[in-house]
């Protein structure tokens, strides 16, 4: 494999993994008002990597190479800061960008910067939706398309939200600084929603050819873990979200085969489930009970816990009860469809078909995928029809592949 091809395969992964971390650290030095400077330096770093590595090969420690280049570019920027200030003197004062203090990219600095940044971005001056959109873009490196899928909203709407939110950051002189207890407490719910959406995109990607993106799941787990390690944010809801991520992550290796094709839950090799993550999930779920109130994360963690239990006795009845409670706390089409699957396991496919059709989610690929599954034992032609509709509605290449595989299986079965 040539240097160019190796570079093309490695860089997208590193960009997803390191770009947001790099931007967070740099933003602590420039301030959020000038976040575009931090983003430009991070982007230039990866551009230089693509050019240099394609010719000279990938360095022995590519991540260290990237951070060394970013650090040098930051120093160069501050050396020329007077020229920069002269060019933009009408929109900023000379003391807004100070001489560059020496700083390092290490795990402690990166994690601290990311958490400080996400709390700074989740500022009530912006709407809740705008806060989450901005955090997903800046902190998590999400594209506009990925954010629009997370919100089930048109990309044009997301672009407008991001523009308004960034303008607020610039105009209100936001900085990444230590927040007081009340500020952290008031913003924690938005931070958790952001991390929840981040994990969901990794666990079941709607935009990527890989239906499961383990690096995104790992990043969400890492950031949530740091919240559990900080006394002020180590709340029951945070522990419940951490438990949910651990339980779901425990089955990641079993969800795809060697060709990256999805393996349905019932067909997964349970020996591939990560028992250490299940144990950690149990630990955080117990911690989540140390306080009043039940959040959606408690209920979803409970559902994920029962999925890791191999015994079938009363399992689906308990899962269905939890879905019923979740529907009362926060209704969503996906929750309703997942509840219908659990309903089928308790009361049978025929009754579940009637439940599903009541939802009338005819523009949802998940709706037709579920009906395809429910009809597969009683009406193969109707099942295939729903699977084909689901294929036409999804943009995920991996999901199309899974649905096509099910259609072929049913066709063989009907012969």
Per residue in 241-272, pLDDT (tens digit) is 999 999 999 998 888 877 777 787 888 888 99
Q: Are residues 52 and 168 in the same domain?
A: no
Q: Are 140 and 229 in the same domain?
A: yes
Distances (CA, A) of 31 to 97, 102, 330, 375: 8, 16, 36, 56
Q: Do 116 and 78 fall within a single domain?
A: no
Task: State residue 96's pLDDT score.
Answer: 46
**In terms of Cα–Cα distance, which of 128, 83, 396 is closest to 260?**
396
Chosen domain end from 105, 125, 159: 105
Three-class secondary structure of residue 378 per DSSP: coil
* Range picked from 82-96, 205-219, 346-360 for highest mean pLDDT: 346-360
- Percent with pLDDT over 70 in the chain: 84
Number of domains into which the chain is organized: 2
Q: How many CA atoms lie within 13 A of 53 on its CB side?
A: 23
Local structure of 392: helix, strand or coil: helix
pLDDT of 97 strictly over 50: no
Whether residue 409 is contained in a domain is answered as no
Q: Is residue 309 part of a domain?
A: no
* Residue 249 domain-assigned (yes or no): no
The verdict on residue 337 lying in a domain is no
Q: Token pair of 297, please?
A: 């994360």
What burial class does residue 388 get, using C-beta atoms within 10 Å of its C-beta: 0-12 exposed, 13-18 middle, 19+ buried?
A: middle
To the nearest 5 percent, what fractions of the chain are helix, strand and coil?
A: 70, 0, 25
d(CA 27, CA 368): 44
Instruction: Quickly tell me which residue has 């990925």 as its tokens.
Output: 146
Which residue range(s) make up the domain with 2? 1-94+101-105
**Alpha-carbon span 208 to 202, nearest angstrom:** 9
Q: What is the pLDDT of residue 350?
A: 96
Given 213, 233, 253, which residue is the final one in a domain? 233
Same domain assignment for residues 31 and 82:
yes
In this structure, is residue 127 part of a structural domain? yes
Does residue 190 share a domain with residue 124?
yes
Q: What is the mean pLDDT of the chain?
A: 84
Q: pTM for this structure?
A: 0.79
Q: Could you tell me the two tokens for 8?
A: 């093309």
State yes or no: pLDDT of 92 exceeds 60.
no
Instruction: Judge whether 276 lies within some domain.
Output: no
Residue 138 shares a structural domain with residue 173: yes
- In a domain, residue 238? The reply is no
Residue 313 resides in a domain:
no
Residues 136 and 50 in one domain: no
- The maximal CA–CA distance of the chain, rounded, in angstroms, is 78
**Based on the domain organization, do 115 and 165 belong to the same domain?**
yes
Quick one: 111 and 216 in the same domain? yes
Are 41 and 11 contained in the same domain?
Answer: yes
The last residue of one of the domains, among 233, 259, 274, is 233
Same domain, 112 and 140: yes
């Amino acid at each position: 494999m040539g240097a160019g091809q190796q570079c093309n395969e490695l860089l997208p992964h590193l960009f997803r993994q390191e770009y947001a971390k790099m931007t967070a650290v740099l933003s602590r030095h420039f301030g959020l008002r000038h976040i575009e400077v931090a983003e430009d330096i991070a982007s230039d770093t990866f551009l230089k990597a693509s050019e240099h590595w394609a010719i000279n090969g990938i360095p022995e420690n590519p991540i260290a190479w990237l951070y060394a280049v970013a650090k040098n570019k930051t120093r160069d920027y501050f050396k020329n800061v007077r020229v920069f200030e002269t060019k933009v003197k009408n929109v900023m004062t000379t003391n807004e960008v100070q001489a560059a203090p020496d700083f390092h990219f290490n795990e402690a600095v990166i994690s601290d910067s990311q958490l400080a940044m996400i709390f700074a971005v989740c500022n009530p001056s912006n709407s809740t939706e705008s806060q989450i959109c901005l955090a997903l873009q800046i902190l998590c490196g999400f594209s506009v398309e990925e954010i629009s899928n997370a919100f089930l909203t048109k990309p044009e709407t997301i672009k407008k939200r991001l523009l308004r939110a960034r303008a607020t950051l610039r105009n209100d002189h936001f900085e990444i600084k230590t927040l007081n207890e009340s500020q952290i407490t008031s913003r924690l719910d938005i931070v958790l929603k952001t991390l929840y959406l981040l994990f969901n995109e990794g666990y079941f990607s709607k935009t990527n050819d890989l239906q499961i993106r383990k690096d995104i799941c790992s990043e969400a787990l890492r950031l949530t873990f740091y919240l559990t390690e900080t006394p002020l944010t180590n709340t029951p809801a945070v522990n419940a979200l951490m438990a949910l991520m651990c339980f779901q992550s425990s089955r990641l290796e079993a969800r795809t085969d060697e060709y990256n094709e999805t393996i349905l839950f019932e067909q997964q090799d349970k020996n591939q489930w990560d028992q250490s993550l299940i144990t950690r999930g149990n630990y955080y779920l117990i911690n989540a009970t140390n306080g009043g109130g039940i959040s959606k994360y408690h209920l979803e963690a409970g559902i994920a816990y029962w999925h890791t239990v191999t015994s079938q006795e009363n399992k689906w009845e308990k899962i269905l009860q939890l879905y019923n409670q979740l529907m009362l706390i926060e209704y969503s089409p996906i929750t309703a469809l997942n509840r219908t699957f659990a309903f089928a396991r308790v009361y049978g496919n025929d009754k579940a078909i009637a439940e599903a059709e009541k939802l009338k989610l005819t523009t949802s690929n998940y709706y037709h995928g579920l009906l395809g599954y429910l009809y597969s034992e009683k009406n193969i032609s109707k099942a295939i029809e729903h699977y084909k509709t689901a294929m036409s509605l999804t943009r995920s290449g991996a999901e199309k592949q899974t649905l096509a595989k099910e259609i072929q299986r049913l066709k063989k079965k009907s012969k």
